Amino acid sequence: RILPTAEHQARLLATLQAIDERLTRAGVDYWVTGGTLLGALRHGGFIPHDDDVDIELREADLPRAVGALGAVGRSYRGGGEWPGSGVPMGRFFFWGADGRFPASVDVFLRSDRPEDL
């Protein structure tokens, strides 16, 4: 496996900053999770082999999140789940202005249904 370059991880950070700006402006609460959270706590940045960003938000907020992020030409593919967990998720792809490899953002959905807690 090829490790992500510092340039790629810098793009991921810039993508996360853009996500934060847009979701905050739209009033959508979200938080980092998975490898992104682990990297922030353990490495003070990204895990060296991490090549994506992981965020989580409430399932009910997904339409507003897609609207806030989709308004800037990003694509979203949903309807999946984290393998073997039953946790619903989707993925955003953010291409740089130069059209280079996209930054991938995994979006995990937190259910507000009591039976799922």
Which is nearest to 23 in space by CA: 58, 81, 69? 69
- Residue 73 within a domain: yes
Q: Which domain holds residue 111?
A: 6-116
- Residue 61 within a domain: yes
Q: With bands split at pLDDT 50, 70 and 90, how would you rate the model's confidence at 18?
A: confident
- Number of folded domains in the chain? 1
Secondary structure element (H or E) that encloses residue 14, with its range: helix 6-26
Encoded amino acid at 75, one letter: S
User: What pTM was computed for the model?
Assistant: 0.79
Identify each DSSP E strand in 67-114 by its residue range: 75-81, 88-94, 103-110
> In this model, does residue 79 exceed pLDDT 80?
no
- Residue 75 within a domain: yes
Q: Give the CATH number for residue 111.
A: 3.30.460.40
| C-alpha count within 13 angstroms, C-beta hemisphere, residue 52 | 14
Q: What is the pLDDT of residue 44?
A: 92
Quickly count: other Cβ atoms within 10 Å of residue 5's Cβ: 10
pLDDT greater at residue 103 or residue 61: 61
- Residue 16 within a domain: yes
What whole-number percentage of the chain has pLDDT above 70? 71
Which is nearest to 74 in space by CA: 87, 61, 90? 90
What is the greatest pairwise CA distance in the chain? 45
- Residue 79 within a domain: yes
Q: What is the pLDDT of residue 49?
A: 85
- Residue 1 within a domain: no
